Amino acid sequence: MNADTRTIGFIGLGHMGGPMAANLVKAGHRVIGFDVVPDVLAAAAGAGVEAAGSAVEAATTADVVITMLPAGRHVLDLYRNEGLLTAARPGTLFLDCSTIDVADARSAHEAAVAAGMRALDAPVSGGVVGAEAATLTFMVGGAQAEFAEAEPLLAAMGRKAVHCGAGGAGQAAKICNNMILGISMIAVSEAFVLGESLGLSHQALFDVASTASGQCWALTVNCPVPGPVPASPANRDYLPGFAAPLMAKDLGLAANAARAGGVPVELGLKAAELYAAYAAGAGAEADFSGILQTLRGGTAPEHGSGPRNDAKGGTPS
């Protein structure tokens, strides 16, 4: 072990947390992990994570405690009710990488600091593929000194980390970005559906919009119709990719924040409504670009006019 090696308590070893913890092990860190699902914990142990018997046990000897959990209530419950903040050594850095409500992130940050700990919110973009390949982007909220301390760990799990401001700013950046993405995917999908009704081929609309003012990630990378971008999920029956329920979750968080602040994000609220309905039905296991099919009111016919790809790949979230 060299001087930069840290002991990390990693709580939540699911689709994202599992590979992130494995990448910290690969970078030479000691990772003590915990998950409430025994099979998930066993899989992480197979990747070199030391299995703890509880979250508290994982935190007790850690320099840094990372959480990668489903929602704010899980993070706050561990911090406040399950004794994580009292079990850790004073000054331990708590790094929450889950995507949670901005208000919950601020509460978690305050609870950690009140308990004598240090805290950062660091939600991610890049999906499971990015977690496995250590190519995630981290959006980080908290003090500069803590950000600087966390950077080597973030570098072991991702390729970019942006310091967005004070506690909660990472979550704010994440939901604002994904609100742009959700709205723009609906806009692109509606344009293709309208184009279809006007007799316009998918390829023609793609060729124009991808090099004109309609250009955006939802069109050029995650194109919601099959054909123009061969790597997009539309070409593999909308297999995710970025799953529609995760988009629905993120838009719900954006809607919560907008309502709490009285901010009139009309398109954001409409996108949240459309994605909630899609994720609860046909899109439960689909990529978020599959929403085009519900906007069309049926199943997508094959309208593309031959493969072509001049876009860069990637996964947004």
Residues belonging to the active site: 174
> Cβ 302 to ligand NAD, closest distance in Å?
28
98, 232, 289, 293: which one binds ligand NAD (CB under 6 A)? 98
CA nearest 105: which of 144, 138, 135, 75? 75
* Binders of ligand NAD in range 179-198 (CB under 6 A): none
Other Cβ atoms closer than 10 A to 5: 12
Read off the tokens for 133.
């390949």
> Cβ 306 to ligand NAD, closest distance in Å?
31
> Cβ 141 to ligand NAD, closest distance in Å?
15
Q: How far apart are CA 234 and CA 216, in angstroms?
A: 16
- Residue 11 interacting with ligand NAD (CB under 6 A): yes
DSSP string across 174-230: HHHHHHHHHHHHHHHHHHHHHHHHTT--HHHHHHHHTTSTT--HHHHTS-SSSSSST
- Residue 14 interacting with ligand NAD (CB under 6 A): yes
DSSP reduced 3-state for 115: coil
Helix (H) or strand (E) holding 94: strand 93-96
- Residue 150 interacting with ligand NAD (CB under 6 A): no
Other Cβ atoms closer than 10 A to 286: 23
Other Cβ atoms closer than 10 A to 27: 17
* Binders of ligand NAD in range 78-97 (CB under 6 A): 78
Tokens 């031959």, residue located: 306
- Residue 17 interacting with ligand NAD (CB under 6 A): yes
> Cβ 69 to ligand NAD, closest distance in Å?
5
Read off the tokens for 151.
């950077």
- Residue 34 interacting with ligand NAD (CB under 6 A): yes
CA nearest 97: which of 134, 61, 138, 43? 138
> Cβ 308 to ligand NAD, closest distance in Å?
27
Residue 236, amino acid = R
105, 246, 247, 265: which one binds ligand NAD (CB under 6 A)? 246
Q: Is the peptide bond before 83 cis (omega within 30 degrees of 0)?
A: no
Number of residues that bind ligand NAD (CB under 6 A): 26
- Residue 45 interacting with ligand NAD (CB under 6 A): no
- Residue 303 interacting with ligand NAD (CB under 6 A): no
> Cβ 64 to ligand NAD, closest distance in Å?
16
From the list 14-22, 45-53, 195-203, 275-283, the region that binds ligand NAD by CB under 6 A is 14-22
- Residue 36 interacting with ligand NAD (CB under 6 A): yes
Contact between residue 247 and residue 279 where contact means Cβ atoms under 8 Å apart: yes
**Which chain residues interact with ligand NAD by CB under 6 A?**
11-17, 34-37, 40, 55, 68-70, 74, 78, 98-99, 124, 127-128, 246, 249, 317
